[in-house]
Amino acid sequence: MSDERTDLILSMLRAIRAEQAAQCEKLDEIISRIGALEREVATLTLRFAEMKVDFANLSVRIDNLDHRVRRIEQRLELIEVPTST
């Protein structure tokens, strides 16, 4: 092979190697960003589950308050007590 062809092939291989190195760096960046997103999603999922528990607790408290208010209204005869038939 002539020196020109050898130099051309070597320069092309160097360009391919440089491009491959750049792609590897980009892939590493993408992988790290996906990892960060996965951690963020896991945190949000946990926070959402905590909010659901808080909502359930509040619902129970509201139901208890409703029962207490209903009993108070019945004692004060502010509402009619349904009769059993």
19 vs 81: which has the higher pLDDT:
19
Q: List, for residues 26-84, the tens digit of each pLDDT value.
A: 999 999 999 999 999 999 999 999 999 999 999 999 999 999 999 999 988 887 767 76
Contacts with 79 (C-beta within 8 Å, 6 or more apart), sequence order: 70, 73
Nearest-angstrom CA–CA distance, 72 and 79:
10
Does residue 66 contact residue 73 with C-beta atoms inside 8 Å?
no
Does residue 73 contact residue 79 with C-beta atoms inside 8 Å?
yes
pTM for the complete prediction? 0.59
pLDDT at 77: 84
pLDDT at 31: 98
2 pLDDT exceeds 90?
Answer: no
